[in-house]
Each structure stands twice: as structure tokens, then as C-alpha cells.
Amino acid sequence: MAKPHKHVFVCVQSRPPGHPKGACGGRGSPALVQAFADELNRRGLWDRIALTGTGCLGPCGGGPNVLVYPEGLLYHGVQAADVPTLVSEHLLADRPVARLLAPAEVW
Ligand code: FES
């Protein structure tokens, strides 16, 4: 496998109902992983973009959280409808999507 151009980590951490930290898994992140997979598949990008469902990334409150490397930029509150924009703008054009970036005090 060649080194990917970008690597997308989507938090799929789950926690029991009522847990004070909440979790991205309970806020729709499994569907978000599927949306990324569908978009990468549709555009034939698997040779350039890696996708990994991951455990807790830390700032749980604003999830679902998505971390993109090599930039190390954290997106929060990401929904499946945001995926085409993230792919077109950040992953393919190197233009981070400002409206979805986690605030500086979080990341
Ligand atoms: S549960 Fe997703 S960042 Fe903590």
C-alpha cells in the first residue's frame, strides 16, 4: 500500500446511555464512516485517501469528530451531508472547511 495523501479518522467511540461525556458513536458517527466510505468509493479515491474508524479523540462534547492528517485538523459536529464538501475541499483541494473546524480552545 502506498502512503496515503490524506488519512481521515472518524471517532466511533460509544459509551453507555447517560454517560457524562457522551460519545460520537451515539451522535451518528457510524453513518458518517459509511458516508465517507461511499464517497471515496464513488470517486475512486481509495488509493489516495485512507479512512479509519477510531476510538475517542479527546474533545467528545462537539462530536461527531473527524481528524484529518497530515494536517492534524479536527472537524466537529460533522454530519453525513458534510462529507462531499470535506472530500472536495479538504481532501482533494487542500482547502480546510472553516465552518466545521473545531474552535482553537478545543483543538
Ligand atoms: S467520543 Fe468521540 S471524541 Fe470522544
The domain ranges of the chain are: 6-100
Q: Over 90: is that where the pLDDT of 103 sits? A: yes
Q: What is the pTM of this model?
A: 0.96
What is the CATH class of 6-100?
alpha beta
102 lines ligand 1 (CB under 6 A): no
69 C-alpha to center of ligand 1: Å?
Answer: 17
- Span 61-84, pLDDT tens digits: 999 999 999 999 999 999 999 999
| Spatial separation of the C-alpha atoms in residues 11 and 40, rounded to whole Å | 18
Helices (H) and strands (E) in the chain, counts: 3, 4
Q: How far is CA 95 from CA 46, 53, 73, 88, in A?
A: 20, 23, 11, 9
> What is the residue type of 106?
V
Atom of ligand 1 nearest to the CA of 59: 3
Mutate to test the pocket of ligand 1, among 9, 19, 60, 66 (most ligand atoms within 8 A of CB): 60
| Contact criterion met (CB below 8 Å) for 52 and 38 | no
